[in-house]
């Protein structure tokens, strides 16, 4: 009996030793299965080196750099619209004309008045010159004692009066010239010219309409260059530099394209309600693809490094100052604290905690814990086959 018990005990010990030896020889999948643990399938990425840019996204609306509603300074009937909506006009190019018959008549009338005034000046100057010679003659005779003083004084008075008449005639000529210039201005104002290179955005009146001074006839916009105005959070203002900070612009209406821009201006004041400062981003638009009113997203590149240690942004967990990732090692996820630097949409700069080549979990970390057994996506696919 005792011998049988001894044999049974020895067999039990041997079986236990075999089980422990099996577990030790198979610490991965078999150990987890024996313990009843779930092996989590995960996706992974690799810590690498490369360039990184920290970006700030702002949103706004595409705006024209300049826009104007052209209006005459004179009354008149709209006789001609030289342009149509969508036309491109150059600086100084004719856009519209009012009826000029009345203005032509006023110019002719003013020119006639100038000629009359000039003739008056000449006549007054001749009279004044004659009066001057008569005064000199009477002065000589008075000195010789052959003419009375009264005659000499009358000649002197006539000379002074004719001198004043010359001044009046010249003043009339100046007034007539000013009237002619005004008539010429009115004549010119009857034609509307483009003040800058622009696109005709809208015709506001039809031919034949009576136009009052200041009444818009046509609207022009300058869109060879456009701008986006948007608010930037105060925390990033120290990283912005006008004329240097690069901007990448996308618009929903133009799929698959990006547009390079430059930070042109940052407001010197901050909105107390939103804690943002207004940023003005300028974009070249020679093809006129960007239209005023389009919704735009602008990525401002606030910082950049040509070479940094990077991990995929999807791998980073935790909060600022307490970030971590799961590093895959020996088929287990190891929770590892990470010190981070610059961040972009795709990557995060690693300042400490990881090394180049480390394999990290990028997806499937929801049920992970330190030392949790995992299988990568590629291993899962192999097992399925």
Average pLDDT over residues 221-247: 91
How far is the CA of 301 from the CAs of 50, 106, 343, in angstroms? Answer: 16, 61, 11
Q: How many C-beta neighbours within 10 Å does residue 323 have?
A: 17
Please check the confidence at residue 48 and state whether its pLDDT lies above 90.
yes
Q: What is the mean pLDDT of the chain?
A: 87
Q: Mind listing the pLDDT tens digit for each residue in 53-104?
A: 888 899 999 999 999 999 999 999 999 999 999 899 999 999 999 999 999 9
* Cβ burial, residue 232 (10 Å; 0-12/13-18/19+): buried
Tokens of 100: 């000029």
On whether the CB atoms of residues 117 and 173 are closer than 8 A, the answer is yes
Please check the confidence at residue 20 and state whether its pLDDT lies above 90.
no
Q: How far apart are the first and last CA of the chain?
A: 54
Three state DSSP letters for the chain: CHHHHHHHHHHHHHHHHHHHHHHHHCCCHHHHHHHCCCCEEEEEEECEEEEEEEEEEEEEEEEEEEEEEECCCCCEEEEEECCCCCCEECCCCEEEEECCHHHHHHHHHHHHHHHHHHHHHHHHHHHHHHHHHHHHHHHHHHHHCCCCHHHHHHHHHHHHHHHHHHHHHHHHHHHHHHHHHHHHHHHHHCEEECCCCEEEEEECCCCCCEECCCCCCEEEEEEEEEEEEEEEEHHHHHHCCCCCCEEEEEECCEEEEEEEEEEEEECCCCECCCCEEEEEEEEECCCCCCCCCCEEEEEEEEEEEEEEEEEEHHHCEEECCEEEEEEEECCEEEEEEEEEEEECCCEEEEEECCCCCCEEEEECHHHCCCCEEEEEHHHHHHHHC
pLDDT tier at 40, thresholds 50, 70, 90: confident
Residue with tokens 């690799």: 46
Q: How many C-beta neighbours within 10 Å does residue 154 have?
A: 14
Most confident of 9-18, 218-227, 376-385: 218-227
* Listed range (93-97, 199-203, 237-241, 256-260) with the worst mean pLDDT: 237-241
Q: Mind listing the pLDDT tens digit for each residue in 309-329?
A: 999 999 999 988 899 999 999
Please check the confidence at residue 239 and state whether its pLDDT lies above 80.
yes
pLDDT of residue 24: 40
Please check the confidence at residue 133 and state whether its pLDDT lies above 50.
yes
Average pLDDT over residues 9-26: 42
Please check the confidence at residue 10 and state whether its pLDDT lies above 60.
no
Q: So what CATH class is 55-65+222-305?
A: mainly beta
pLDDT tier at 36, thresholds 50, 70, 90: low
Average pLDDT over residues 259-284: 94
Nearest in space to 55 (alpha carbons), one of 307, 225, 249, 243:
249
pLDDT of residue 378: 57
Q: What is the pTM of this model?
A: 0.61
């Amino acid at each position: 009996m005792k011998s049988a018990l001894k044999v049974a005990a020895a067999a039990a010990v041997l079986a236990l030793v075999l089980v422990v030896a099996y577990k030790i020889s198979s610490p991965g999948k078999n150990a987890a299965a024996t313990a009843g643990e779930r092996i989590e399938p995960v996706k992974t990425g690799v810590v690498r080196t490369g360039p990184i840019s920290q970006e700030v996204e702002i949103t706004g609306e595409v705006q024209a750099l300049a826009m104007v509603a052209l209006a005459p300074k004179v009354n008149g009937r709209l006789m001609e619209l030289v342009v149509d909506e969508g036309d491109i006009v150059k600086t100084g190019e004719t856009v519209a004309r009012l009826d000029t018959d009345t203005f032509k008549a006023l110019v002719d009338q003013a020119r006639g008045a100038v000629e009359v005034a000039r003739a008056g000046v000449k006549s007054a100057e001749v009279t004044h010159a004659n009066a001057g010679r008569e005064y000199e003659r009477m002065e000589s005779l008075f000195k010789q004692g052959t003419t009375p003083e009264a005659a000499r004084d009358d000649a002197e008075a006539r000379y002074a009066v004719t001198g004043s008449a010359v001044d009046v005639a010249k003043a009339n000529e100046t007034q007539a010239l000013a009237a002619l210039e005004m008539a010429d201005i009115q004549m010119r104002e009857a034609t509307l010219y483009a003040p800058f290179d622009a696109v005709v955005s809208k015709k506001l009146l039809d031919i034949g309409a009576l136009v009052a001074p200041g009444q818009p006839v046509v609207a022009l916009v300058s869109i060879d260059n456009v701008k986006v105005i948007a608010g930037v959070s105060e925390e990033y203002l120290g990283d912005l530099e006008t004329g240097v900070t690069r901007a990448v612009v996308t618009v929903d209406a133009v799929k698959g394209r990006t547009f390079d821009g430059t930070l042109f201006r940052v407001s010197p004041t901050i909105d107390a309600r939103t804690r943002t400062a207004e940023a003005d981003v300028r974009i070249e638009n020679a093809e006129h693809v960007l239209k005023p009113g389009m919704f735009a997203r602008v990525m401002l590149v606030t910082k950049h490094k040509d070479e940094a240690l990077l991990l995929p942004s999807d791998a980073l967990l935790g909060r600022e100052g307490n970030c971590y990732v799961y590093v895959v090692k020996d088929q287990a996820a190891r929770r590892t604290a990470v010190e981070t630097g610059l961040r972009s949409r795709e990557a995060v700069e690693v300042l400490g905690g990881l090394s180049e080549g480390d394999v990290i979990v990028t997806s499937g970390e929801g049920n992970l814990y330190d030392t949790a057994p995992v299988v990568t996506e590629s291993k899962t696919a192999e097992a399925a086959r």
